[in-house]
Amino acid sequence: MEYNRTTPSADGYYMPAEYEPHKGCIMIWPQRPGSWKKNAKDAEQAFCAVMEEITKSEPVYLAAGKKVLARAEAFAAQQKEKYREAIACGRHFPVTVFEAETDDAWARDMAPTFVKKGGSVRAVNWSFNAWGGTVDGLYASWKLDDAFALDFAKREGYFCYDAAPFVLEGGSIHSDGEGTVMVTEACLLSKGRNPQLSKEQIEEKLKAYLGAEKVLWLPRGIYLDETNEHVDNVCAFVGPAEVVLAWTDDPKDPQYPLSLETLQYLELQTDAKGRKIIVHKLPIPDVPVCVTPEDLEGYVFEEGEDTREVGERLAASYVNFYFSNGAVIMPAFGGKNAESDQRAAEILHSICPQREILPVYARDILTGGGNIHCITQQIPQGKAEKE
């Protein structure tokens, strides 16, 4: 692995869109007691369900710490046996487990961001500080998470650009692969990220390391999103100059003014190629997803770690989906939101008719603080540049 002191943009590299072909997907086995209750048993089931759907069309590279390595390997072995013939014929894909110690399991924010040029793919490492560091970060120690991107790039032989000490998470950026990147002001201008930099300086960093020509600064994200309102929970590119936006028609819902402000902003914007942005409204669950007393059973919070309270509203959104090579892996919340789940799946099918829409019950991921997009990181199709 090499650390290049130039930038992707200077070398002709850019961040591709998530709906472009993938080599595979990075995930991390959950185990943090302050994120995943009862030894992460419920979370494990949800993560495994997501992996099972992803491997229908692409491989999964699964990191696991020493304490949970055997469980991760057992799952991978079970999948290999279950789909042995399909994997041999290329109709299903394996889960490859490797040992890596992390503080938590949010692969989107900790794994490398990948950039490409032609058939060549390189990695980008950002500084990670648990979504705000000592200002408003969600846990006190993030050293292992911060090291993960560089470690993965070295393991897989990717030429790596090191953007540190610039703080950024993968969930806070969305690219159309054609020069336009979306972020939220609420996140990127938060005091816990890069307070020494102006908005203009932050934009120049994004352009340099993502190969972007234009940055769309959405004002807000999802109500009470503890990441300071990552863009991946509120708005996502589904095509060039085409996005889905988390929405509600209820003016009494606290999400309403946030989404309305974002919609009004997008209606006035064009992308890097001068095209008007097509906005598809993707309604949030009709019934707010809130923390129950049962949800709080079995957590073990460390000193300095963000905690949960009964009645706390969680940042539930259907926008937090993952594009696999053959599908959209969509979070579903079940129960009183069964109709909302169905509506979201139908909307996404109308927008992405060439892909299968695969809802996965994801409430047990949401209670950890994120959702399906947050626990996944795509690797673009292409050749890794070796050392």
Which residues are the active-site residues?
374
Alpha carbon distance 131, 238 (integer Å):
26
Q: Which residues contact 319 (CB under 8 A, 6 or more apart)?
A: 232, 233, 234, 235, 236, 244, 245, 246, 282, 373
Strand order in the sheet with 22-28: 95-99, 60-64, 22-28, 377-380
Query: CA 73, CA 93: separation in Å to the nearest integer?
Result: 15
> Tokens 């996404």 — which residue?
348
List of residues 6+ apart from 347 with CB closer than 8 A: 244, 280, 282, 283
Q: Which of 73, 74, 27, 31 is nearest to 51 (CA)?
A: 27
Cα distances (Å, whole numbers) of residue 304 to 30, 142, 159, 189, 295: 20, 12, 35, 23, 20
Please name every residue paired with 270 in a beta bridge, in sequence order, or none if there are none.
276
Strand blocks (E) in 103-218: 113-117, 120-127, 160-167, 174-175, 180-184, 214-218
Residue 122's closest CA among 170, 159, 162, 169?
A: 159
End-to-end CA distance of the chain: 4
Task: Give the chain's largest Cα–Cα span.
Answer: 56
- CA dist., res. 159 & res. 225, Å (int): 33
Residues forming beta bridges with residue 25, ordered by sequence position: 60, 378
Distance CA 90, CA 92 (A): 6
Cβ-contact 102, 148 below 8 angstroms:
yes
State the CB neighbour count (10 A cutoff) for residue 152: 25
